[in-house]
Structure 1
């Protein structure tokens, strides 16, 4: 099960269309979060490596932007086809690096393939428009052009799809893109970018850099050649990146933190809601930006809802993600375990009740596991409710009045996703309008799809990934006034 030898040996950094197995800043050790043991080392880029990647991207951009849209579309389809043939290899890498179960890893790779297929078609649909001119014989043309070199910074929790969401629209638009993945999951990034490379994208159109912020981040942010930044990460990092981007007036799009509320009204079908809520809450051990963190359940349902939720959570099988029977894997590192313990300690101090879980599994001495945890009886300023927990902790509280439910759901500084469960069509529409979030799920948690715009408001960021909207963040609008 644990054969990892050579996992990173075939790839490395991708600069100018060539894989480099050595970086100027040494190596980065990558660990399996289920065991805490090293699974390999990846080369770390130096500032010089970054400068070379930017220079190569300038050359690659000139070639790629001149490539016809239909040719770009064919290449994106080719990338998807190559990826489809590497599903099991990719799933294994995702699981080893992040800890998520294989079934979830396979689904992530499939969603990544969808991004390339969707944007292959969007490349053919970069439409402009004609506006009647005031000048006699004139015509106003509005067209779109690629913004230039983009840089993508991604998190570890979805090491494939977060990259695909940025690379696919960037390439469809005609941009060159430099990818800097999380150092926790470089192997998944290498495999995905190799699929891009195998499809025949011009040298420099896509680059891969792995390394610390001091050697990779600063040169990219300082470069005037890089015109667009896309981040999936924390709100604090996003705020810093926006400040740093101001120096060279880079365009930015940010998919940041979340603290999703779930409002369960009294007419919701209890068993169906529980069957949806529990698997979603504990997928990837709760380390999902759109996962449900705080549950506002009508007072008439809160007792059976809590009992059913806790029973289902307790029954989840924890283990190594490579074991097909595993339903929840570990957290990514010890820092996340420490954060969960802090949230539980805060809850206990505030009089919260631990319905199930609350600590490391008994007898689990390896890896970064934490039990699926359900907490009730908390005030709204408790950490489990007021902040994104990014882990396997669900806070359940009750409400009696609809206005109260909306007010409490909207009280967070975040606005990425929100969910509501009800049978009443009028209430569905009202909830969708009243909940302050970039995405609202009504009787569903299915928000992430290639054809739909993904993103948030408030402290959850700006811009959209996916859908027709996703390609626009990689394009400039040009107005041309033509007078004959």
Structure 2
């Protein structure tokens, strides 16, 4: 398609492709058509990227914070100027609706703007000592970062990986998903066009395990940042452990939503029903397990189903579409298998449960109810357009269900009782908790999970500090 950009590696500021390199096709998930071909980095390319990252770290850590902030601020402005082109590429290769893609791009710009401010807020402290002596705490950039970004949010994931690192003074080698390369490249290009030295950020593609093993096998890399599945995250942590590299892992979830009898049910429905199907449910913080108090179960279930049936599904480039296709052919296959198994085990299929059309990767917004806990979909993140609604006797049982799984990324609770709200905040095991709200993200707030959902944080001041090391200084 003529409006889809050409693809390349970015190493030392140069666009690299061809020359006998292996490549992979990029598909439009709405049509199945080939959009372009993304080149895979050779071992020599990765070595070149590592050398540039080492040089870039020496340059960038010595760059004054005000200068780093100015570059990042200008990059944010360029993202705002280019939002149309970035969002169009994002929708073509990932499938989400164009308004969602534009919103993601603007959020990425906002996050860069916040990170720019943090460049000048990397405070240390000085301790009280007798005259002639000094003791202080300094924070310094950890070193070159290897970052691996997922396909579900091609812009935000890149900004989270690169933005915090460069604000701290680190260099970065980032590997976006080979399924969504264009939006990632456009995002990094904004930083380069804003004046960031070419050595500071490299973009590579390739077979994920080959790239990760090569980069993590180098002593140049001092930190690893990954967004993706728990299985892959565990693998990368083991690789990083061989050289004691620091890690930030943003991994899987299975978001519980506790809805109590005393909640504003209509508001909860209006907020959470569309939230569950944002980006076709391919969101790590997606609300997936609705844990509803017995007295309001039927009212909530019926209201939820009614709203879901009104969701317009189609090509994300078309006006009025509220949910696009899944991003790849693996998605519908997995959802179909999980839904079938849930029904076989006694769950009720309330709506959806089928593919749509004969091209692309469309799957109908699906609602299951009264699904037994031994069904796979109750224990593993579906990562697709499925919501599960089950009934529970009361608060203690609902909290127990919310905490039953080894995941703990995002959780949601709806109640008008202030005392209950505080109990829920204290007792729910999750890195992010939203009460009477569907949002768990803000540029000035840390984003991350607990248990199998990972460790470390992105966004907020914590996203920059995750790329710093602490040095204690004693003089005299």
- Smaller-chain TM-score bracket: over 0.9
Match of 1:58? 54
Instruction: Tell me how far 1:242 sits from its aligned partner.
Output: 0.5
Matched, 1:270 2:243: no
Match of 1:336? 331
Q: Which residue of 7, 13, 35 corresponds with 2:4?
A: 7
1:155 aligned counterpart, secondary structure? coil
Match of 2:120? 124
Match of 2:95? 99
Q: Is 2:228–2:251's contact at 8 Å kept on the other side of the alignment?
A: yes
Between the aligned partners of 1:393 and 1:147, the Cα distance in structure 2 is: 40
Instruction: Tell me how far 1:248 sits from its aligned partner.
Output: 1.4
1:218 aligned counterpart, secondary structure? helix
- Give me the TM-score of the superposition, normalised by structure 2: 0.98
Matched, 1:395 2:385: no
Q: How many residues align?
A: 476
Q: Which residue of 73, 97, 102 corresponds with 1:77?
A: 73
Q: Deviations over 1:49-92 (max 9, x none)?
A: 01100001111111111100011011110100111100111111
Instruction: Tell me how far 1:370 sits from its aligned partner.
Output: 0.6
Matched, 1:475 2:436: no
1:397 aligned counterpart, secondary structure? strand
Between the aligned partners of 1:28 and 1:75, the Cα distance in structure 2 is: 33
Between the aligned partners of 2:10 and 2:19, the Cα distance in structure 1 is: 10
Q: Which residue of 432, 437, 443 corresponds with 1:444?
A: 437
Instruction: Tell me how far 1:385 sits from its aligned partner.
Output: 1.7
| Change over 3 Å in CA distance of 1:81–1:316 after alignment to 2 | same
Between the aligned partners of 1:37 and 1:162, the Cα distance in structure 2 is: 25
Matched, 1:240 2:231: no
Q: Is 1:46–1:215's contact at 8 Å kept on the other side of the alignment?
A: no
Match of 2:211? 216
Between the aligned partners of 1:303 and 1:103, the Cα distance in structure 2 is: 33
Between the aligned partners of 2:160 and 2:20, the Cα distance in structure 1 is: 28
Between the aligned partners of 1:145 and 1:220, the Cα distance in structure 2 is: 22
1:130 aligned counterpart, secondary structure? strand
Instruction: Tell me how far 1:214 sits from its aligned partner.
Output: 4.4
Between the aligned partners of 1:179 and 1:29, the Cα distance in structure 2 is: 20
Match of 1:423? 416
Q: Is 2:294–2:394's contact at 8 Å kept on the other side of the alignment?
A: no
Instruction: Tell me how far 1:300 sits from its aligned partner.
Output: 1.1
Q: Which residue of 410, 414, 421 corresponds with 2:407?
A: 414
Q: Is 2:149–2:161's contact at 8 Å kept on the other side of the alignment?
A: no
Matched, 1:36 2:32: yes
Between the aligned partners of 1:165 and 1:210, the Cα distance in structure 2 is: 18
Match of 2:200? 205
Q: Is 1:8–1:41's contact at 8 Å kept on the other side of the alignment?
A: no
Between the aligned partners of 1:446 and 1:337, the Cα distance in structure 2 is: 26
1:211 aligned counterpart, secondary structure? coil
Match of 1:384? 377
Q: Which residue of 252, 269, 273 corresponds with 1:257?
A: 252
| Change over 3 Å in CA distance of 1:28–1:8 after alignment to 2 | farther
Matched, 1:138 2:133: yes
Task: Report the aligned-residue RMSD.
Answer: 1.2
Match of 2:150? 155
1:183 aligned counterpart, secondary structure? coil
Between the aligned partners of 1:28 and 1:285, the Cα distance in structure 2 is: 24
1:301 aligned counterpart, secondary structure? helix
Q: Where does structure 1 differ by over 4 angstroms across 4 or more consecutive aligned residues?
A: none
- Give me the TM-score of the superposition, normalised by structure 1: 0.96
Q: Is 1:337–1:370's contact at 8 Å kept on the other side of the alignment?
A: yes
**Structure 1, unaligned stretches of length 5 or more?**
none
